[in-house]
Amino acid sequence: MARRRLRVLLIGEEAAGIQALRGIALCGKDDVVAVLASPEDSASRTTGLWAIARRLGFPAHPARLVKEGRFAEWIRSMDVDVLLNVHSMHIIHREALTAPRIGSFNLHPGPLPRYAGLNALSWAIYNGEKEYGVTLHEMTEQIDAGPIAYQERFPLLDHDTPVTLAVRCVQTGIPLLLRLLDAAASGRDAIPLTTQDPVQRRYFGREVPNGGRISWDLTARQVVDFVRACRYDPFPSPWGRPRALLGGREVVVAGATRTGRLSTVTAGTVEYAAQGALVACADEWVILQGVSEEGQSAGSRHIAAAPGARTRVEESF
């Protein structure tokens, strides 16, 4: 018996949305009835999901339409079986979530229920997690709270940044989308939906730990992990660059590395060496990279005094 072809509506953005579209198209098992994404702008005129969808021959509509009440009726008129949301930040109108015949599903770049909401990638690094994951779940009115269809986990490595984690979420998540569609072709009951445990749920908003400032009273690992959690190079960071006081001057820090050298001095003490600025944390010293004053770009050496000189940060954030 031939597999039933599904009518799929894709809402997405960025590389994840593009990979989802290409994955569904290459499989050739289902029909993408339309793609909703941000319209072309100067930065994505040829590389954004909107442009890619039109190049591949799929109808493209502005993603902002998902917030309108009439969106649900449009979905029903298009006889959509499955709605897939892949890295789109637009909140879909509640009536539209139940409009598809089988359901609406979101690919969340994080392991639910512990990492719901925004910037989960950064929070996991900041919290010192050793494992991360990606979750495909049914969408409900409560954000990232619907039943889980599929979830895959993978190690979170010491050199991972939010960008490398995002890439791995996409690589691991696209097969989950295709797996969902294969199950959905046999009907909604074939999709393994597991209710999330509300006790384990943790939702993150737009807040940034400690207001985006480094506290030298933390351990070296915590300081390094916070700086790493802010690194989205070459993209803008939603957490910005971490700020700190060095020798009484507020600076921004691009990178930090543990030295393994135990500290017996007051946290916040700065030691200037040939390779740059070292700062004492609660347990060991860290060396800073890419230190500059706000609005400037320079290496850590531009703040240095003579090698071997020490000063103490007058205030710890």
Average pLDDT over residues 55-65: 94
pLDDT of residue 316: 35
* Full residue range of the structural domain in which residue 134 is found: 7-204
pLDDT digits (tens, 9 = 90+) for 133-184: 999 999 999 999 999 999 999 999 999 999 999 999 999 999 999 999 999 9
Instruction: Assess whether 177 and 230 both reside in one domain.
Output: no
Residue 43 burial class via C-beta count within 10 angstroms: exposed 0-12, middle 13-18, buried 19 and up: exposed
pLDDT of residue 273: 84
The CATH number given to whatever domain includes residue 139 is: 3.40.50.170
C-alpha triplet 129, 133, 137: angle, nearest 5°: 135
pLDDT of residue 217: 95
315 CB neighbour count, 10 Å cutoff: 9
pTM: 0.90
Q: Which residues, in sequence order, are bridge partners of residue 154?
A: 132
Question: What is the average pLDDT score of the chain?
Answer: 90
67 CB neighbour count, 10 Å cutoff: 12
Instruction: Assess whether 178 and 245 both reside in one domain.
Output: no
Tokens of residue 118, six digits: 């925004």
CA distance 203 to 190: 29
Tokens of residue 94, six digits: 């509640």
State the Cα torsion 242-246-250-254 to the nearest 10°: -30
The label of the residue with tokens 């539209």 reads 96
CA distance 66 to 72: 8
pLDDT at 188 over 60: yes
- Name the domain count of the chain: 2
Query: Could you tell me if residue 317 is inside a domain?
Result: no
- SS3 per-residue string spanning 183-213: HHCCCHHHCCCECCCCCCCCEECCCCHHHHE
Contact yes or no for 170/176 (Cβ under 8 A)? no
* pLDDT above 90: percentage of residues in the chain: 82
Query: Could you tell me if residue 19 is inside a domain?
Result: yes
Query: Could you tell me if residue 26 is inside a domain?
Result: yes
Instruction: Assess whether 281 and 245 both reside in one domain.
Output: yes
Q: Which residues, in sequence order, are bridge partners of residue 271?
A: 278, 310
Instruction: Assess whether 199 and 217 both reside in one domain.
Output: no
Instruction: Assess whether 151 and 166 both reside in one domain.
Output: yes
How far is CA 260 from each of CA 43, 244, 246, 285, rounded to the nearest angstrom? 42, 21, 20, 7
Using 50, 70 and 90 to split pLDDT, how confident is the model at 274? confident
Contact yes or no for 280/266 (Cβ under 8 A)? yes
Instruction: Assess whether 132 and 254 both reside in one domain.
Output: no
pLDDT of residue 302: 43
Instruction: Assess whether 164 and 261 both reside in one domain.
Output: no
Query: Could you tell me if residue 2 is inside a domain?
Result: no
Which of 211, 207, 288, 305 minimizes the C-alpha distance to 251?
288
User: Residue 93 has what DSSP assignment?
Assistant: P
Q: Dihedrals φ, ψ of 74, to 5°?
A: -65, -40
Query: Could you tell me if residue 265 is inside a domain?
Result: yes
Rg (CA), the chain: 23
Instruction: Assess whether 194 and 218 both reside in one domain.
Output: no
Instruction: Assess whether 22 and 167 both reside in one domain.
Output: yes
CA distance 109 to 96: 22
Instruction: Assess whether 16 and 136 both reside in one domain.
Output: yes
pLDDT digits (tens, 9 = 90+) for 195-249: 999 999 999 999 999 999 999 999 999 999 999 999 999 999 999 999 998 877 8
pLDDT at 75 over 70: yes
